[in-house]
Structure 1
Amino acid sequence: MQITHANITDLAQLMLIEQAGFTTAEAASEEAMLERIKTIPDTFLVSRDKDGNVTGFIMGPVINQRYLTDDLFEHVTENSVAGGFQSVLSLAVSPDYRGQGIAGQLLNELADVAKKAKRKAVTLTCLDRLVAFYDQHGYTDEGISSSNHGGETWHNMVLGI
């Protein structure tokens, strides 16, 4: 497996993976995904198989606050050069590649990117059923998020770096 930055030609594969991993209410639109590829290329990472096909991805903008807000799911701005909090708006792996440790590798790679850029922490929100997964990867559950993205209850998860 190889981890690279996303590019526009990956859009169709990214959308299939996004839609397989999230409900219709939670999943990013094609327009939002394209904006993310163009606006935050340095923090939009994809895993690829030996043939170069996208097997999973992780992405999110650098933000000034510790926790995600719902507006981030609609629009992102360019990342600051240093500082801030690295957010994760989406982490998804193709159903054909789940259970192979790809999500953990993507989390680690984005944490490395954040460390090099001297970010304060990595922050994300997740559903109840995923708290243990993120806990295993060093994240701390800091309570219920104010986000109601997709009509769900989310947990604020933070990784100190």
Structure 2
Amino acid sequence: DEFFTDESLHEPDGETVMIMGLDVLPEYRKMGLARELVFNYCRKEQARGRKRLVLTCHKEKIKMYRKFGFDDLGESASEWGGEKWHEMEIRLNF
């Protein structure tokens, strides 16, 4: 995707942060670690004045991110890696 080719859209002091990846090793899954990572990151970015976090994920991860408080914005225009993605966002107003 053209979106990922350079940093021209990067705003260091912008109100939105895009999460580019989240991975937990298989032996540590189902322990709440991903949730803690996301919640701690949300608090950190809110303290920095950010208003929302966004990410793209595969369809099978939508349920997990909804549990974390993200809203599914629907299918993304991105076809990064030749795959379909969903856009997710969470507003940092807690």
Interval of TM-score (by shorter of Structure 1 and Structure 2): 0.7 to 0.9
Return the alpha-carbon distance in structure 1 between the equivalents of residues 79 and 14 of structure 2. 27
Within 5 Å, which residues of 2 pair with 1:1-161?
71-72=3-4, 74-76=5-7, 80=12, 82-161=13-92
| Superimposed CA distance per residue, residues 79-130 of structure 1 (whole angstroms, 9 cap, x where no aligned partner) | 61x3331111100001121111111111111111210111120000011101
Return the alpha-carbon distance in structure 2 between the equivalents of residues 114 and 127 of structure 1. 24
Q: TM-score, normalised by structure 2?
A: 0.84
> Given the superposition, is the C-alpha separation of residues 93 and 76 from structure 1 closer, same or farther in structure 2, using an over 3 Å criterion?
farther
Which 5+ residue runs of structure 2 have no aligned equivalent? none
Superposition RMSD in Å: 2.0
RCO higher in 1 or 2 (8 Å CA, sep ≥ 6)? 2
Q: Which runs of 4+ in 1 moved over 6 A?
A: none
Which 5+ residue runs of structure 1 have no aligned equivalent? 1-68
Return the alpha-carbon distance in structure 1 between the equivalents of residues 34 and 7 of structure 2. 22
Count of aligned residue pairs for this structure pair: 91
Q: TM-score, normalised by structure 1?
A: 0.51
Secondary structure, aligned partner of 1:93: coil
Q: Which has the higher strand share?
A: 1
